[in-house]
């Protein structure tokens, strides 16, 4: 019991001492704060009031993490000493810092560095000894700070490309599914149209769904007619619909007709138009499948490259 009270009392005294040091630095407008071996288990919130700090010493404490907003609230930081703590990772927000020059991380529990650290172009000194690091690999670590930062930048670019390719393939698959659905819909419409045509004439035969029973007609007469535009009262015949489609292809120049004065215009039947539609739809589908296979092969190649890049040696 007495030992617990003494440790609690010592902890309170240490906390009060840290607050006094921060208050003194704030009052003096100091650019340096030394909190070495103060038994800190977390970064004091009062520290983030000193946004003009350039040098912070936090060696020999019990810090297990750094807040995500640490580097955001200390934009002028140039020197950060975090040696001999219990850090397991660094926040990715370090990549947005534009002043940090020296980062000391010796004697922590880091297994990897954030790829965003490679974006800190001002960083010149990086101490990583006595950490169980897997990323970057040991051969890169031996080459020094510049090689480490270059490795992190390359790994980050590879990850961005892989993510972009994955998103592109997903969009392409959705587009391909929509294209297949539209092709099936067009084929269904084309196969059902001839059933409405009289083989001996261009007359449109009433379908079973469009026929109105006598009871339904009586109810319709009781309720009164529904106002509709005059053009909707006269359904277009099958021959008119095919002629409209033929005219559309002719205006678009898709029927291979020669210019006037050189060659006599050739007539194109609705059957030829159907064949052209089916051929173009099949070509589009095959082209989309080829492109999808190429992109999948490229993604697989990129994934293998990234795995080999990040694999520890």
pLDDT for residue 30 is more than 60: yes
pLDDT-derived band of residue 224, with 50, 70 and 90 as boundaries?
A: very low
What DSSP string runs through 2-40? HHHHHHHHHHHHHHHHHHHHHHHHHHHT-SEEE-TTS--
Mean pLDDT of 67-79: 95
DSSP annotation of 213 reads -
Q: How far apart are CA 66 and CA 88, in angstroms?
A: 9
Round the average pLDDT of the chain to a whole number and report it: 76
Q: How far apart are CA 90 and CA 152, in angstroms?
A: 14
pLDDT attached to residue 190: 47
pLDDT for residue 167 is more than 80: no
Q: How far apart are CA 18 and CA 32, in angstroms?
A: 14
pLDDT attached to residue 260: 47
Among 18-22, 37-41, 148-152, 185-189, the range scoring the smallest mean pLDDT is 185-189
pTM of the model: 0.53
- Report residue 177 CA to chain centroid gap: 21
| H-state helical runs in 64-207 | 70-73, 138-141, 145-192
Among 103-112, 160-169, 223-232, 253-262, the range of highest mean pLDDT: 103-112
Percent of all residues in the chain with a pLDDT value above 90, rounded to a whole number = 43
pLDDT-derived band of residue 185, with 50, 70 and 90 as boundaries?
A: low
Mean pLDDT of 27-32: 92
Closest to 272 in 3D by CA, of 251, 252, 254: 254
């Amino acid at each position: 019991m007495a030992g617990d009270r003494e440790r609690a009392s010592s902890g309170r005294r240490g906390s009060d001492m840290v607050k006094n040091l921060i208050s003194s630095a704030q009052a003096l407008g100091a650019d340096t704060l030394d909190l070495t071996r103060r038994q800190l288990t977390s970064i004091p919130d009062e520290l983030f009031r000193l946004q003009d700090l350039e040098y912070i010493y936090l060696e020999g404490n019990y810090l297990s993490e750094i807040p995500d907003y640490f580097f955001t609230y200390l934009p002028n930081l140039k020197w950060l000493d975090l040696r001999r703590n219990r850090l397991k990772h660094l926040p990715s927000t370090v990549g947005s810092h534009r002043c940090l020059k020296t980062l000391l991380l010796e004697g922590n529990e880091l297994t990897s560095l954030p790829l965003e650290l490679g974006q800190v172009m001002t960083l010149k000194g990086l101490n990583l000894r006595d950490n169980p690091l897997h990323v970057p690999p040991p051969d890169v670590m031996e080459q020094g700070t510049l090689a480490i930062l270059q490795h992190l930048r390359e790994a980050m670019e590879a990850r961005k490309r892989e993510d972009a390719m994955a998103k592109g393939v997903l969009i392409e698959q959705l587009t391909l599914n929509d294209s297949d659905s539209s092709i099936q819909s067009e084929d269904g419409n084309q196969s059902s149209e001839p059933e409405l045509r009289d083989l001996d004439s261009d007359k449109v035969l009433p379908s079973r769904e469009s026929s109105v029973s006598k009871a339904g007609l009586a109810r319709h007469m009781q309720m009164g007619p529904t106002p509709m535009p005059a053009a909707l009262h006269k359904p277009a015949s099958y021959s008119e619909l095919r002629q409209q489609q033929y005219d559309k292809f002719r205006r678009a120049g898709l029927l291979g007709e020669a210019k006037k004065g050189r060659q006599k215009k050739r007539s194109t039947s609705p059957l030829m138009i159907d064949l052209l539609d089916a051929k173009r739809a099949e070509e589009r589908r095959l082209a989309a499948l080829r492109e999808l296979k190429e992109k999948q092969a490229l993604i697989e190649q990129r994934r293998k490259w990234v795995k080999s890049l990040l694999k520890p040696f």
